[in-house]
């Protein structure tokens, strides 16, 4: 049988390998040397191409691994996600007082900002290790006015944008420095250089920052949104007033019609504005549908895009129809949908966390989910296509992130108890009790579980970052990581003091992780 397979053309064998699971490929490798060589040449590389992983902290390690090692890591990670098995561990010691930290991650490092300090964590190259790189204070004054309120990564892996409580926006550069006359492996602590690129005239709190390509979108707490070029600090940018208490922003330039989305506390909590390319606000007719033709939406791109106040879409929290007099609510978090969601990896799929404790997914491409009030087509409402919630939790959702195992998970941080909710989009299903009432109009929900952050802090989870095998988050007491990757040890993570941290280990447990409470969303109880 094996000899018959080996006689097939290599391109046919490559297609066959794509249909075989990882255990099946491993079994074939054990049959003969010829089959092992073919799988080494085609099977593993094709598997990695068909199952891309979105990961920052493993990028350096994956460059040093061969294809079988990388496939093994990814396969065991996905199995751990399916089994709900992970290592839960703080990244930092408890802060002295309750703070409202933020984080940002790219291929160079993880940044955690708490009060006016920035803590940098680097990633190992030979193994998937996380280590404390350095810490800096951006100000010698210790008061709420100097607190960091938002962070964003730029296309330069060593340059970041920082938003402050006093309304200033700073550009920081973190560079590695090597001692002269010493081996390249010995480096001094990285240096940080900070410059103020913008100061709000009203000292409005910079609530949110979002970067994509060479554009920076900033949002103040009072609802002032500004789009600027990263390459021109003197650019006054394009501004828009949302006239509401604002919480979060999201910038997307890769969609067919680039847009910016904003989360506020108002009667229209989640609003999307299209971007234009002509350097001024548009006077054309407003958006009248979900997928306008490119010719009517985008002009030739001579200058930096601007926010267009006449092209607004309100993303509704109502599944079936939008009431004529909507009630006030709030949207606190926005993210792009998981790359391996069943509906595709389109940038026009959005995920949002709401005050009512639900996470909703929206598809900007689906015309049937748009709703218009009477003859007014200037501000359409878009109904969600997916709604998720923890049946045991009734708190607002403060943060969302997407990725995880197989690139198909959504993570949401709650406003209390340090709870992180996780849903797998591959198992979306309709709720049978509602199907009998409203039929196919009900959007599906997804299989989920929830986990308390290490230390069980009675705190919001202010921000999350999710990649293939790791989830990073921050509470008011510490930063933490949940790690689904295999072979984690104490050396994988930064050392932390063992005492007086509110941390517990399971009786008889040996390993780097700490005990956390977790439970599935089917009302059948919890487990540790």
Alpha-carbon gap, residue 132 to 290, rounded angstroms: 46
H/E stretch holding 346 reads: none
Query: What is the DSSP pairing of strand 306-315 with strand 376-382?
Result: parallel
H/E stretch holding 182 reads: none
Domain ranges of the chain: 1-50
Tracing tokens 């700490």 back to the chain, one arrives at 514
> Are the C-beta atoms of residues 121 and 108 closer than 8 Å to each other?
no
Alpha-carbon gap, residue 482 to 466, rounded angstroms: 9
- Cα 326 → chain centroid: 29
Q: Which among 445, 444, 438, 430 has a CA at the least distance from the CA of 321?
A: 438
The rounded average pLDDT for each run of 10 residues, N- to C-terminus, in the chain (528 residues) is 75 89 93 90 92 91 94 96 94 92 96 96 88 91 86 96 94 78 58 88 92 93 92 77 95 91 93 71 29 26 52 67 65 95 89 95 82 58 88 94 94 96 85 41 67 92 97 97 94 82 77 90 57
pLDDT at 431: 54
End-to-end CA distance of the chain: 47
Q: Which among 466, 393, 463 has a CA at the least distance from the CA of 424?
A: 466
Burial of 158: CB neighbours in 10 Å, binned 0-12, 13-18, 19+ = middle
pLDDT at 320: 58
pLDDT at 187: 58
State phi, psi for 37 to the nearest 5 degrees: -65, -40
Number of alpha carbons in the 13 Å side-chain half-sphere of residue 10: 9
Helical ranges in 309-390 per DSSP H? none
Helical ranges in 397-483 per DSSP H? 432-438
For 485-517, write each residue's pLDDT tens digit.
998 999 999 998 766 577 888 777 778 889 999
pLDDT at 318: 67
Burial of 194: CB neighbours in 10 Å, binned 0-12, 13-18, 19+ = middle
Bridge partners of 161?
A: 152, 171
């Amino acid at each position: 049988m094996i000899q018959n397979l080996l006689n097939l053309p290599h391109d046919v064998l490559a297609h066959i390998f794509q249909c075989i699971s990882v255990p099946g490929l491993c079994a074939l490798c054990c049959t003969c040397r010829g089959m092992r060589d073919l799988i080494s040449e085609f099977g593993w590389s094709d598997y990695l191409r068909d199952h891309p992983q979105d990961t920052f902290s493993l990028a350096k390690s994956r460059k040093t691994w061969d294809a079988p090692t990388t496939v093994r890591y990814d396969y065991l990670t996905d199995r751990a996600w399916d089994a709900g098995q992970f290592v839960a561990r703080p990244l930092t010691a408890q802060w002295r007082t309750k703070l409202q930290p933020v984080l940002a991650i790219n291929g160079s490092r993880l940044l955690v900002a708490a009060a006016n300090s920035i803590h940098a964590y680097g990633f190992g190259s030979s193994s998937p290790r996380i280590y404390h790189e350095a810490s800096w204070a951006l100000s010698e004054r210790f008061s709420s006015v100097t607190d960091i309120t938002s962070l964003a990564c730029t296309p330069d892996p060593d340059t970041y944008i920082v938003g402050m409580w006093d309304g200033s926006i700073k550009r920081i550069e973190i560079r590695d420095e090597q001692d002269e006359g010493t081996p390249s492996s010995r480096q001094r602590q990285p240096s940080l250089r900070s410059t103020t690129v913008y100061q709000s005239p009203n000292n409005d709190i910079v609530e949110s920052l979002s970067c994509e390509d060479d554009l920076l979108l900033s949002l103040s707490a009072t609802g002032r949104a500004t789009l600027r070029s990263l390459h021109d600090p003197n650019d006054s940018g394009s501004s828009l007033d949302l006239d509401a208490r604002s919480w979060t922003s999201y910038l997307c330039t890769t969609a067919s019609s680039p847009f910016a989305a904003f989360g506020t506390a108002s009667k229209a909590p989640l609003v999307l504005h299209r971007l234009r390319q002509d350097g001024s606000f548009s006077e054309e007719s407003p958006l009248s549908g979900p997928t306008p033709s490119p010719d009517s939406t985008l002009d030739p791109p001579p200058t930096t895009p601007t926010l267009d106040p006449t092209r607004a879409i309100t993303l509704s929290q109502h599944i079936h129809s939008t009431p004529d007099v909507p009630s006030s609510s709030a949207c606190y978090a926005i993210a792009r949908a998981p790359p391996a969601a069943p509906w595709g990896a389109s940038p026009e799929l959005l995920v949002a966390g709401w005050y009512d404790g639900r996470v909703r997914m929206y598809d900007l491409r689906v015309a049937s989910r748009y709703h218009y009030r009477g003859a007014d087509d200037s501000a359409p409402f878009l109904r969600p296509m997916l709604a998720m919630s923890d049946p045991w939790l009734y708190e607002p959702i403060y943060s969302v992130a997407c990725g995880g195992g197989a690139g198909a998970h959504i993570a949401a941080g709650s406003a209390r108890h340090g709870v992180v909710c996780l849903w797998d989009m591959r198992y979306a299903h309709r709720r049978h009790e509602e199907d009998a009432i409203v039929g196919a109009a009900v959007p599906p929900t997804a299989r989920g579980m929830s986990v308390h952050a290490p230390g069980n802090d009675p705190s919001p989870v202010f921000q999350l970052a999710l990649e293939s095998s790791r989830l990073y988050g921050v509470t008011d007491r510490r930063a933490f990581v949940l790690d689904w990757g295999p072979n984690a040890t104490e050396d994988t993570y930064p050392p932390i003091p063992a005492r007086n941290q509110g941390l517990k280990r399971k009786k008889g447990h040996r390993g780097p992780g700490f005990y956390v409470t977790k439970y599935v969303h089917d009302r059948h109880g919890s487990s540790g």
